[in-house]
């Protein structure tokens, strides 16, 4: 494992060598248990360095969004956070606190799982003679905006004991960081909001935070005078509102109402939807269906129009789930990758043929086969997609 060094200048390689000893491994487990039992997170683990890196290919660098902050944390503290994160994840999955449609940030719930579930849902709707309409929205600045009071409520509802609650109370207070830009380094500033995006505990804390939001959303749409049959799928801070109806007017009204409710729930929990990134897509069964837009002006958003191709989690969805564009995109990407591999050697020098073969299997095939589970199954029309794959052989 390779990453930039934190304030203690200890690398993962050092820790891996150190904890190859059973005695050292036992000591770090004892230290972790002591932190939880004493309900404390040491100050030296709360100090970080934030390196500001400009994002590539931006037209202007006059706004903060054009830069990416990299937080360098104490490596030993990150190791302890990983241990706590694994135990915490096991606990909340075991007690059923997380929603089944929460994917990402959780082990054994990947982007492929999200793509397969979404594809299955759409095809199941077609069997019922229903189209599927989806609103995809993004939560703005999720990790830096987490409200500690609301997060504490979520942790309590997740069934954590008093020692763990006390530990997280200490964990979220007294943080400080310095900012580095080229050769400049600022003094340390206190940080009292959000959670560190590079922290090992951030993904599971996010999942717990979002679980209560989803529970509240489902409860509110169920308690309406007329229940709204809207489903939700979440992958980290990218979420989907899904409606399956025979009428476009009905599905559009359900999605708009659900979007308004979710927007208010997120606002109450200290978060906001980034309306400019909200997308709409329809999966119709008919050959020449309507393709209506949805007006989000009531919540401060724009009028969103469906796109011919919708990108979600690296998958390129088309209206008929043929995934022709998806395969063309990744086959073309593989051809560019293959052209660079050719430059690494020839018949007289450079990489050996067996090394190129290994490079092909490890770097090219995973790109070409990304998401193949969504279109390659029994009875699916695969001729055109397989033709695209043959181009990169």
pLDDT at residue 297 is higher than 80: yes
Between 262 and 200, the higher pLDDT residue: 262
63: which residues sit within 8 A by CB, 6+ positions away? none
pLDDT at residue 2 is higher than 60: no
Kindly report the average pLDDT of the chain as a whole number.
86
CB 66 within 8 A of CB 181: no
Q: How many CB atoms lie within 10 A of CB 79?
A: 17
Q: What is the pLDDT of residues 140-190, one digit of tens each?
A: 877 777 888 888 888 888 888 899 999 988 888 888 888 888 888 888 888
pLDDT at residue 294 is higher than 80: yes
| Interstrand relation of 230-235 and 102-103 (parallel, antiparallel or unpaired) | parallel
pLDDT at residue 232 is higher than 60: yes
Binned at pLDDT 50, 70 and 90, residue 136 comes out as very high
Q: Residue 137: which of 308, 255, 283, 277 has the closest Cα?
A: 277
Q: What is the pLDDT of residues 102-129, one digit of tens each?
A: 887 787 788 999 999 999 999 999 999 9
pLDDT at 329: 92
The total number of residues shown for the chain amounts to 393
Q: What is the pLDDT of residues 15-68, one digit of tens each?
A: 888 888 888 888 888 988 999 999 999 888 888 888 888 888 887 888 777 888
Binned at pLDDT 50, 70 and 90, residue 70 comes out as confident
pLDDT at residue 389 is higher than 90: no
Angle at 362 between CA 359 and CA 364, to 5 degrees: 80
pLDDT at 57: 81
pTM equals 0.85
């Amino acid at each position: 494992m390779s990453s930039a060094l934190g304030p203690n200048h200890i690398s993962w390689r050092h820790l891996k060598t150190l904890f190859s000893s059973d005695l050292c491994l036992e000591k770090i487990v004892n230290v972790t248990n002591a932190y939880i039992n004493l309900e404390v997170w040491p100050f030296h683990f709360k100090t970080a360095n934030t390196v500001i890196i400009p994002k590539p290919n931006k037209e202007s660098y006059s706004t903060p969004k054009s830069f990416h902050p990299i937080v360098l944390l104490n490596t030993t503290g990150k190791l302890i956070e990983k241990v706590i994160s694994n135990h915490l994840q096991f606990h909340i999955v075991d007690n059923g606190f997380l929603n089944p449609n929460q994917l990402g940030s959780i082990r054994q719930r990947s982007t492929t799982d999200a793509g397969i579930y979404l594809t299955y849902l759409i095809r199941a709707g077609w069997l019922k003679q229903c189209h599927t309409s989806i609103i995809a929205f993004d939560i703005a600045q999720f990790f830096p905006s987490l409200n500690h009071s609301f997060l504490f409520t979520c942790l309590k509802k997740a069934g954590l004991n008093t020692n763990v609650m006390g530990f997280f109370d200490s964990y979220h207070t007294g943080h400080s960081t310095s900012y580095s830009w080229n050769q400049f380094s600022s003094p340390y500033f206190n940080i009292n909001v959000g959670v560190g995006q590079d922290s090992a505990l951030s993904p599971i804390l996010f999942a717990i935070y979002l679980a209560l939001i989803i529970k509240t959303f489902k409860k509110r749409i169920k308690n309406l005078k007329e229940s709204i049959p809207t489903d939700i799928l979440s992958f980290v801070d990218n979420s989907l509102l899904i409606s399956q109806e025979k009428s476009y007017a009905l599905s559009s009204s359900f999605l708009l109402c659900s979007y308004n409710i979710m927007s208010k729930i997120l606002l109450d929990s200290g978060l906001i939807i980034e309306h400019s990134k909200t997308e709409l897509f329809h999966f119709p069964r008919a050959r020449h269906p309507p393709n209506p837009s949805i007006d989000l002006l009531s919540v401060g958003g724009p009028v969103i129009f469906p796109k011919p191709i919708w990108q979600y989690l690296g998958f390129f969805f088309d209206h008929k789930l043929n995934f022709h564009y998806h395969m063309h995109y990744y086959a073309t990407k593989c051809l560019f990758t293959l052209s660079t591999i050719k430059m690494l050697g020839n018949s007289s020098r450079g990489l050996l043929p067996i090394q190129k073969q290994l490079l092909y299997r490890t770097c090219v095939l995973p790109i070409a086969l990304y998401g193949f589970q969504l279109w390659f199954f029994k009875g699916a029309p695969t001729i055109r997609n397989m033709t695209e794959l043959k181009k990169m052989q």
